[in-house]
Amino acid sequence: MWTLPRTQFARSNGSSSSDEKEIAVNIGGVRLVLCGDILNRYPDSRLAELVNCSTRSFDVISSLCDDYDPGKREFYFDRDPDSFKCIVEVYYFGEIHMKRGICPICFIKEMEFWKIDLSYLDECCKSNLTEKEEELAEIADKVKVILDDLNCDPNVSRTERWQKFLWKLMEKPESSLPARVIAVVSFLFILVSSVVMCLGTIPDLQVENSEGNRVEHPTLDAIETACIGWFTVEYVLRLASSPNKVHFALSFMNMIDFLAILPFYVVLVLTCLGTTMMELANVQQAVQALRIMRIARIFKLARHSSGLQTLTYALKRSFKELGLLLMYMGVGIFVFSALGYTMEQSHPETLFRSIPQSFWWAIITMTTVGYGDIYPKTTLGRCNAAISFLCGVIAIALPIHPIINNFVIYYNKQKVLETAAKHELELMELRALELAVKSSSRRCDAPGNTWEGAMRASRSDTYIPLLLGARSERTNTCAYLHRFDRSL
């Protein structure tokens, strides 16, 4: 039997009065004796109501607990005993700390059952709860997107149906085999276009035009035109089928797609304006700058690579660490460049002409690159260089581990969320089949109504009630997230 110590006030009272105030509760097989005076500190809680209604009818007591033994005056609850050990601390210490290893969502449901306000939960535990709620919200969003793809509303017009089909075909490779083939073809076009752009700069593969200038080989130019044609058709189809045209156009990755095809058409327009226009030096420089912008198409790979997307999100979450790295390097560059300039002034053949010029030396020294174009020649200058590259190694190494850790955590988290989302869909399918079996006698004329009804009911229980902890069935998803935390 697990027993909590009485307070000094309870011990000072007579034994008979304190016995009358004591109640015995059995939480999942763990028996606990509690003092009524302590429980009455929170009169709205379930335990306080049990103490105050001990003389009432059996029906009232049964509404507050799962079972009751009048002989032992013991109340039985089919609840988690580990969570209750944390919750009962509020009566003695005025706050609740959630132990490691307990699912936060399940713990909140336990608090709601015992009628303890969430404000008594400690701030550190609230932050953990907020993180779990965000993860469950992400799972709900993933499930909602998949359900939107599965559901087919018969009231939708044919144009909207074709638009949705085209959007899944161009934007969601996992939706069907043709969509996966299109994604692979687009990936190959990106690689071919990038290789052709690099090969076009090799002098041996270039040819001379009528004016004697070296230009790209016609074969490479034809391949480039074919790739641009594919990128253009792909972008136009994705834009036409997008549910939100403004959001699509302002998306970062879609802006990269647009910039990848823009230089080709700008150069084409300038060429069509005539040779007189193209002879202008400024126009030729603009054309060269636009052709360099073709390197932006390599970033299109991020749209087809989950690893590159994970790296981008990890860098976003590591802005603080990256800021610290830049601050460390900036301070070191300024200090060591000034010291190097001062120490090298006594040498007649010094390479440190000014402090700004010494910045370059400090940068390549602290990053351990060392091109050798500028170097110290005095003894003090060499000592300064040795200290500078040691400090540079330390400054770079310190923030690297948190950045790598953020990448690993985010990558593992995304895999867990995807697994949890698939698990939610499996549960929804099982509920739909169970509902179909139970309602087989009342089957509707439309064959898809049972599945759609079950899906709609499951989806309505996925987002907002999921965060509020209204249904205990969501604990299966929490188990995945909890296992992920313990693995870290």
121 three-state secondary structure: strand
Q: Give the per-residue pLDDT at 216.
A: 79
In a domain, 439, yes or no: no
Contact 39, 45 (CB under 8 A): yes
Residue type at position 95: E
Q: Give the per-residue pLDDT at 9.
A: 36
Question: For residue 36, which of 6, 71, 67 has the smallest C-alpha distance?
Answer: 6
**With 50 as the cut, is the pLDDT of residue 2 above it?**
no
Determine the structural domain holding residue 190 and report its residue range. Answer: 159-303
Are 332 and 407 found together in one domain? yes
Are 272 and 408 found together in one domain? no
Q: How many CA atoms lie within 13 A of 161 on its CB side?
A: 8
Question: For residue 341, which of 403, 287, 388 has the smallest C-alpha distance?
Answer: 388
166 three-state secondary structure: helix
Mean pLDDT of the chain: 76
The CATH number of the domain holding residue 30 is 3.30.710.10
In a domain, 258, yes or no: yes
Q: In terms of residues, how long is the chain?
A: 488
Please, what is the Cα angle at 307 between 397 and 407, to 5 degrees? 35
Domain endpoint, select from 425, 441, 467: 425
**Tally of domains within the chain:** 3
Residue type at position 254: N
Are 230 and 288 found together in one domain? yes
Are 288 and 313 found together in one domain? no
Are 322 and 204 found together in one domain? no
In a domain, 250, yes or no: yes
Are 217 and 279 found together in one domain? yes
**With 70 as the cut, is the pLDDT of residue 407 above it?**
yes
Residue 285's pLDDT band (cuts 50, 70, 90): low
**With 70 as the cut, is the pLDDT of residue 200 above it?**
yes
Q: Which of 322-331, 388-397, 447-456 has the lowest mean pLDDT?
A: 447-456
Structure token pair of residue 388? 């500078």
- Higher-confidence residue: 286 or 75? 75
The CATH number of the domain holding residue 231 is 1.20.120
Q: Which of 174-183, 189-198, 210-219 has the lowest mean pLDDT?
A: 210-219
In a domain, 482, yes or no: no
In a domain, 362, yes or no: yes
Interatomic CA distance for residues 142 and 151, integer angstroms: 14
**With 90 as the cut, is the pLDDT of residue 387 above it?**
yes
Are 316 and 414 found together in one domain? yes
Q: Which helix (H) or strand (E) holds 374?
A: none
Are 131 and 174 found together in one domain? no
Residue pLDDT, tens place only, 420-438: 777 777 777 787 787 877 7
Interatomic CA distance for residues 362 and 372, integer angstroms: 12
What whole-number percentage of the chain has pLDDT above 90? Answer: 8
In a domain, 259, yes or no: yes
Structure token pair of residue 239? 């834009």
Are 298 and 322 found together in one domain? no
In a domain, 481, yes or no: no
**With 50 as the cut, is the pLDDT of residue 468 above it?**
no
Whose tokens are 């701030």? That residue is 123
Instruction: Answer yes or no: pTM beyond 0.75.
Output: no
**DSSP tag of 373:** S
Interatomic CA distance for residues 270 and 278, integer angstroms: 7
Domain endpoint, select from 391, 425, 459: 425
Interatomic CA distance for residues 350 and 378, integer angstroms: 9
**With 50 as the cut, is the pLDDT of residue 460 above it?**
no
What whole-number percentage of the chain has pLDDT above 70? Answer: 75
Are 81 and 138 found together in one domain? yes
Q: Which residues contact 412 (CB under 8 A, 6 or more apart)?
A: 484, 487, 488
- Higher-confidence residue: 482 or 178? 178
Domain endpoint, select from 425, 453, 475: 425
- Higher-confidence residue: 25 or 315? 25
Q: Give the per-residue pLDDT at 323.
A: 86
Q: Give the per-residue pLDDT at 453.
A: 45
* The most confident of 190-194, 364-368, 480-484, by mean pLDDT: 364-368
Residue 469's pLDDT band (cuts 50, 70, 90): very low
Please, what is the Cα angle at 266 between 264 and 267, to 5 degrees? 65
In a domain, 152, yes or no: no
Q: Give the per-residue pLDDT at 386.
A: 92
Are 203 and 330 found together in one domain? no
- Note the Cα 93 to chain centre separation in Å: 36
Are 137 and 36 found together in one domain? yes
